[in-house]
């Protein structure tokens, strides 16, 4: 059972999503909230697997909520669920440790797939968001930053992580075992001095590693 916390200020949408998700086998919405005022205490109390987080909420919004959670918890998976697919929000969300970024117009069945994918270590993104991420790359200075002595294979794995591939998808793409993927990622974390996928992706953006 994948346990979910939902942050969405629109009560009808919050209720609709709760009914959709909890009514699907293998998923349960533990609670829903209208903003991130008490997000740290709520995450601690409910201990969810995945958080669905709206960005534009009154009071404490989703980007600030994401930051607050990541200061105390880097394990819980956080999916930004939003109407925005602009560069600024996407970049901020990824830099602050979001595990995925999906749009509210995502079909219900796909939304459930995204939640399951995040829970197993993937980094789901709606296609239009992935396009924006690629545009961000191309618009950045093409001059590479420090490469942290990453091997070509490690850079390839990091590139796929940035593109939202799960460990299994990386293994399939590179024709290697999942254990080999884990080994590469462990070395990448050590060389970049990071402890999580979101930190590695943020550093890849910031230092133009890939």
Nearest to 53 by CA among 45, 24, 64: 64
The first and second tokens of residue 96, run together, are 């602050």
**Domains of the chain with CATH codes:** 2-130 (3.40.50.2300), 140-206 (1.10.10.10)
Confidence of residue 92 (pLDDT cuts 50, 70, 90): confident
Chain centroid to Cα 15, Å, comes to 23
Q: pLDDT by residue (tens digit) across 16-52?
A: 999 999 999 999 999 999 999 999 999 999 999 999 9
Q: pLDDT by residue (tens digit) across 146-169?
A: 678 999 999 999 999 988 899 999
Rg (CA), the chain: 17
The first and second tokens of residue 104, run together, are 């509210």
């Amino acid at each position: 059972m994948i346990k979910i916390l939902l942050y969405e200020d629109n009560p009808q949408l919050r209720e609709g999503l709760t009914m959709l998700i909890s009514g699907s086998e293998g998923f349960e919405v533990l609670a829903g909230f209208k903003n991130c005022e008490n997000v740290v205490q709520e995450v601690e109390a409910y201990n969810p697997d995945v958080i669905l987080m709206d960005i534009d909420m009154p009071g404490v919004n989703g980007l600030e909520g994401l930051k607050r959670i990541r200061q105390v918890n880097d394990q819980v998976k956080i999916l930004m669920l939003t109407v925005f697919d602009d560069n600024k929000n996407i970049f901020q969300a990824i830099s602050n440790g979001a595990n995925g970024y999906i749009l509210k117009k995502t079909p219900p069945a796909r939304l459930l797939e995204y939640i399951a994918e995040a829970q197993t270590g993937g980094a789901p993104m709606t296609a239009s968001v992935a396009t924006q991420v690629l545009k961000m790359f191309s618009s950045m200075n093409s001059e590479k930053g420090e490469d942290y002595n990453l091997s070509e294979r490690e850079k390839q794995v990091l590139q796929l992580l940035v593109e939202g591939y799960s460990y299994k998808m990386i293994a399939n793409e590179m024709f290697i075992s999942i254990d080999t993927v884990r080994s590469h990622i462990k070395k990448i974390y050590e060389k970049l001095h990071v402890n999580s996928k979101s930190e590695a992706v943020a550093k890849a953006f910031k230092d133009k590693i890939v």
